[in-house]
A and B are shown apart, each in its own frame.
Chain A
């Protein structure tokens, strides 16, 4: 700003920048907001496509890998293969001889007092540790045999939960659910709040008084308690969940939009439209709502984290989405229960939640600065 005078000839404004273009430039300068934007896009993609690409399904239970800690090397660890084979074959009622492991294939010699059933390899397949089990050699009398099976290498980079499900896959699906609820509930709040606020502000007078008085009364109600009641009593389904959350969070939006509408209403272009005989609803649609958009967008980005928080809060209490689906709140609640022997179950969901909320808040703040610099 100080070197403005250095360039003596003033640059002619050939093209004026629109509000949105200016806002975009301002946003680009805000490093925290841009970083948050990238993080959010990354999380959004992870939530959308992650569950499809993840090596495990979020609902797949590995009974042999309950609460295994996160590891970059594959499970099973070498020292666990032989015990796993022994325990898998113990059901087959055979005596287990030597077990050798070569190139990821376990070779097990078994003997028995009775004739060995060639279907014995099924016992290995049933285990999470082995697959492709087959009986390669069987003695003529059928009392001894060699069973072979491939060792199944599984990666649990964030460990598994108390039921033996991959935590990474569960975090991916919970991201999807949390973001989806965030988006949908915010839209519900947006639609109700903008319509209500614009109507109250535009009609004005006694109607406005009554409508805003209703909002005041609703404000003083302990709403979260009603949401809890609603969710408990009418079952835990996703649609009800975001309807309930959205129905709670529209109050601020209504107030903000009403305030904006009141001031817009006195502007010349609205009066001009009125003089031309445009109907009230059309004016609201064409002039009022588009002009409140900047504020609404700012408020919306700050509403998304609130909504995600509320959903996670309900999920934390066990009132959220149902198994095997999950959300960040559910995962954090499970982590809190198991933190003594499996602290990673708390750490990863809590970290994901924290990063997500930070990103949303920073982006919201950045957008506010970009769209409404006076507001600081």
Chain B
């Protein structure tokens, strides 16, 4: 398994490389630069700035330099946030985004599995229909509608929870719910389907025939098979959380890294955008690997050699 994991990580390097290269050149081909302002700078000032940041060199040289520095762990200086290196900026925001995303993911997995199991156990009852309704709602209504509406209802009208900011656990509740809701919906739907199938399967019937308590049958025997589709969905879910966090961080005014991406791109802050892209690419690759390994742990039929 360890060998497999290592091989996968090595195999992921080309993917990350492609992402970095594509983002780098796309950004540079685009019109505009980081020092374009409403008032045009003097030519000499501009030339000086370009020289300081190495923008006057040929593009391939800049690309090589960027890759070289990146391997050494340096993401370069930010063009807009003066006096700050990109890795410093990202190091500030990343823990917040990670905490938010991971909490949302775990919450989605827990609540989604619970709802899906409940619905499957009480198929075609009111509970089932309620879960289906919640799932349909969660899948249909996007983050950027849920987040402001939650904020409006619970923060502005009822004022039960703070509307924005970071630091207190109460400030985390609304963003996490807004981020998790669509994933709860998908996972509940997946688990409901696979649970219905699992409950009808032979091994569950056998367990029942042995006279095991119903709770044990469900939790120990049926759930293990039923949770597999949800686990393999975690990869896409993480990608959805990444894009979702851009919206949620904006609505709830959280100091994560989501906002740097859009802001950085708008400001042509080349290094900052590249930094976010690198982080996202690495995250997606690593997370997909974790999901695959998790899958192998849960499903004995899958073996990586």
The chain A residues found within 8 Å of chain B, CB to CB, are 217, 220-222, 224-226, 228-230, 232-234, 305, 309, 312-313, 316-319, 329, 332-333, 335-336, 339-340, 343, 346, 350, 353-354, 357-358, 361
26 chain-A/chain-B pairs, Cβ below 8 angstroms: A220-B15, A221-B284, A224-B242, A224-B243, A225-B261, A225-B277, A228-B261, A229-B27, A229-B273, A230-B26, A233-B31, A312-B142, A317-B246, A317-B250, A329-B144, A332-B148, A336-B148, A336-B251, A339-B152, A343-B156, A343-B157, A346-B148, A354-B140, A354-B145, A357-B142, A361-B139
Known: A222-B284, A319-B262. A335 touches B148 (CB 8 A): yes
CA–CA, A329 to B277, complex, Å?
A: 24
CA–CA, A333 to B285, complex, Å?
A: 31
Given contacts A220-B288, A313-B247, A316-B144, 8 further A-B contacts (CB under 8 A): A217-B18, A226-B22, A232-B30, A317-B262, A343-B152, A346-B149, A350-B148, A354-B145
CA–CA, A363 to B177, complex, Å?
A: 28
Contact of A339 among B15, B144, B151, B281 (CB under 8 A): B151
User: Can you list the 10 inter-chain pairs with the closest CB atoms, starting with the nearest?
Assistant: A233-B30, A336-B148, A232-B265, A316-B144, A224-B243, A357-B140, A339-B152, A350-B145, A222-B280, A309-B142
B contact residues around A221 at 8 Å (CB)? 15, 18-19, 281, 284
Tell me, yes or no, whether B98 is within 8 Å of chain A by CB: no
A contact residues around B149 at 8 Å (CB)? 346, 350
Tell me, yes or no, whether B130 is within 8 Å of chain A by CB: no
Name the CB-closest residue of B to A357: B140
Q: How far is the CB of A212 from chain B (nearest CB, A)?
A: 16
Q: Which of B31, B143, B152 has the most CB of A within 10 A?
A: B152
Q: How far is the CB of A39 from chain B (nearest CB, A)?
A: 13
Classify the interface of chain B: helix, strand, loop or mixed. helix
B contact residues around A313 at 8 Å (CB)? 142-144, 243, 247
Q: Do residues B265 and A222 form an inter-chain contact, with CB atoms below 8 A?
A: no
Tell me, yes or no, whether B141 is within 8 Å of chain A by CB: yes
A contact residues around B19 at 8 Å (CB)? 221-222
Tell me, yes or no, whether B161 is within 8 Å of chain A by CB: no
Q: Do residues B247 and A316 form an inter-chain contact, with CB atoms below 8 A?
A: yes
B contact residues around A350 at 8 Å (CB)? 145, 148-149
Q: Do residues B26 and A226 form an inter-chain contact, with CB atoms below 8 A?
A: yes
Tell me, yes or no, whether B207 is within 8 Å of chain A by CB: no
Cβ contacts B130-163/A at 8 Å (1 or 0 each): 0000001001111111011101100011000000
Cβ contacts B8-21/A at 8 Å (1 or 0 each): 00000001001100
CA–CA, A36 to B136, complex, Å?
A: 14
Tell me, yes or no, whether B23 is within 8 Å of chain A by CB: yes
A contact residues around B30 at 8 Å (CB)? 232-234
Known: A233-B265, A346-B148. A361 touches B136 (CB 8 A): yes
CA–CA, A77 to B178, complex, Å?
A: 39
CA–CA, A234 to B149, complex, Å?
A: 32
Number of B interface residues, CB 8 Å?
A: 45
Known: A317-B247, A336-B148, A343-B152. A228 touches B26 (CB 8 A): no
A contact residues around B294 at 8 Å (CB)? none
Q: How far is the CB of A229 from chain B (nearest CB, A)?
A: 6
Tell me, yes or no, whether B266 is within 8 Å of chain A by CB: yes
CA–CA, A234 to B28, complex, Å?
A: 11
Q: Do residues A232 and B266 form an inter-chain contact, with CB atoms below 8 A?
A: yes
Q: Do residues A333 and B144 form an inter-chain contact, with CB atoms below 8 A?
A: yes
Q: Do residues A233 and B26 form an inter-chain contact, with CB atoms below 8 A?
A: yes
Q: Do residues A220 and B285 form an inter-chain contact, with CB atoms below 8 A?
A: yes
Q: Do residues B144 and A312 form an inter-chain contact, with CB atoms below 8 A?
A: yes
Name the CB-closest residue of A to B143: A313
Tell me, yes or no, whether B95 is within 8 Å of chain A by CB: no
Name the CB-closest residue of B to A360: B140
A contact residues around B148 at 8 Å (CB)? 332, 335-336, 339, 346, 350
Tell me, yes or no, whether B204 is within 8 Å of chain A by CB: no
Cβ contacts B251-280/A at 8 Å (1 or 0 each): 100000000011001100000010011001
B contact residues around A332 at 8 Å (CB)? 144-145, 148
Q: How far is the CB of A248 from chain B (nearest CB, A)?
A: 12
CA–CA, A232 to B34, complex, Å?
A: 13
CA–CA, A36 to B180, complex, Å?
A: 27
Q: Do residues B32 and A339 form an inter-chain contact, with CB atoms below 8 A?
A: no
Tell me, yes or no, whether B239 is within 8 Å of chain A by CB: yes
B contact residues around A312 at 8 Å (CB)? 142, 144
A contact residues around B22 at 8 Å (CB)? 226
B contact residues around A217 at 8 Å (CB)? 15, 18
CA–CA, A194 to B26, complex, Å?
A: 27
CA–CA, A150 to B19, complex, Å?
A: 64
Q: How far is the CB of A221 from chain B (nearest CB, A)?
A: 6
Name the CB-closest residue of B to A308: B142
